[in-house]
Amino acid sequence: MIRRASSSPSPSSSPIQPPSKRLKLEPPLNYKNNVVLAPMVRSSTLPSRLLALRYGADLVWGPETVDKAIIGCERAVDPKTGVISYHREGRPIFTCHPVEKPYLIYQVGSANPELAAQAASKVAQDVSGIDLNCGCPKPFSTSGGMGAALLSTPDLLCDILKAIRAAVPPEVSVSVKIRLLPTEEETLALVRKIVETKAVRALTVHCRTRNMRMREAAMVEKLIPIVKLCRQLDPELAVQQNGDCVDRAAAMGVRKLTGCDSVMIATAAESNLSCFLDGPVVDAATELIPKYTRLAYYFDNSWGNSKHCLSQFKSPPSVAPPGAKKSAKKEFRATLASAKTYADLAEFIGGIEGGEEVLKEVEEALAAREQAKDALRLLGAVQAQGTETVGEQPPSLSATIPSAPALQFEPGVASLVSA
């Protein structure tokens, strides 16, 4: 259901603007030196993306959206929350928010250059990048020639990339996500073909083949020759690794091993969106679940989608506050399973209002991040001139993420989730 929404054919007619000019990144989008949120069906929707950004994700991918699904949508803006909804017959197909635009990549599923171009053009005003999904092995994607099926039709794959690049403004970047092919030779041949289109600024490689499943370890070392080839063909192209990375520290290890530019986190983020922090994850029960619920309720996010995401959240016992009771976790899971609305969770999280405050936290975290980047750029310029800096040093990016305000909970809630 779309509520409080008004039709908005163009950004200029929208009453909601990005909260700060500082949040506008200089084009083109920077894909390097990042740890990013992966595109995940059902799990990388709007509330999850914003919380991932709040906890330090450098970029965020939206879930794959099929070209035909988005083309016929109407764009509407909620004047209260700022949520931008692409909807059809009252059902949202894709939602986003101005605060995430500088960091947001829209992923399209397509097997047709013309349709892909139309889909990309449809959302280009609200995102900073368009990504073509060539890695999903699920039948709902491959049965239509999309996703991992495109690995077997490289000419079509490249035609789609070129069509997207031609369809969107130059400030909107284009990228592609693939999987490994059965042999190194086949993989490198595909990568070469993609790079030579000159259509993409980033290549993400899921280090599994199409037939491999999540229980099988990602073959991270297979990325090494891919990185070497990309460096030869286009040194400016960013190469991202995907598969089995669990946190920022692990991402640094992957980069050191493979030489890749950035790392994408999927499953670990699905479990706890604070995996992008430099340190331990936050406690799911006392912080992540309340924040997500309040933000999702404020945004009128689909209850079914929110329920799915909430059911995935967990955290290790080591981050639980003192006095946490394990019995509360079981009670919460039972309540969540039977819950029909957000209101059914109010008792466990101390109320479902407060989403606007959570959104403000996200905005403040992103503003602080951009201030730190400005300081680092200034320091670099000074050092390049051989000038000794005086005074305080610019803060590290991880230090700019503000601490969460104290939250109030009913007795026993501190142990709702731990695993």
Task: Assign 319 to helix, strand or coil.
Answer: helix
Choose, from 73, 96, 134, 136, the residue flagged as catalytic: 136
Cα–Cα nearest to 39, from 147, 122, 121: 147
Q: Rounded distance, CA 255 to CA 207, Å? A: 13
Phi-psi region of 162 (alpha: psi -120 to 50; beta: other; left: phi over 0): alpha
Hey, what amino acid is at 85? Answer: S
Per DSSP, the chain holds a count of helices (H) and strands (E) of 14, 13
Which whole-number Å values give the CA distances from 8 to 1, 73, 87, 108, in the listed order? Answer: 17, 12, 12, 22
Q: Rounded distance, CA 268 to CA 161, Å? A: 29
Task: Assign 310 to helix, strand or coil.
Answer: helix
Q: Rounded distance, CA 33 to CA 211, Å? A: 30
**For the purposes of burial, counting CB atoms within 10 Å of the CB of 174, is it exposed (0-12), middle (13-18) or buried (19 or more)?**
buried
| 286 neighbors 250 (Cβ within 8 angstroms) | no
Q: Rounded distance, CA 206 to CA 370, Å? A: 29
User: Is 136 a known active-site residue?
Assistant: yes
Structure tokens belonging to residue 134: 């060539």
Q: Rounded distance, CA 307 to CA 310, Å? A: 5
Q: Rounded distance, CA 151 to CA 155, Å? A: 9
Close Cβ partners of 232 (under 8 Å, ≥ 6 residues apart):
none
The CA-CA-CA angle for residues 123, 135, 64, to 5°, reads 30
Structure tokens belonging to residue 235: 């040194």
Q: Rounded distance, CA 343 to CA 337, Å? A: 14
Cα–Cα nearest to 98, from 296, 340, 278, 363: 363
Q: Which residues are catalytic?
A: 136
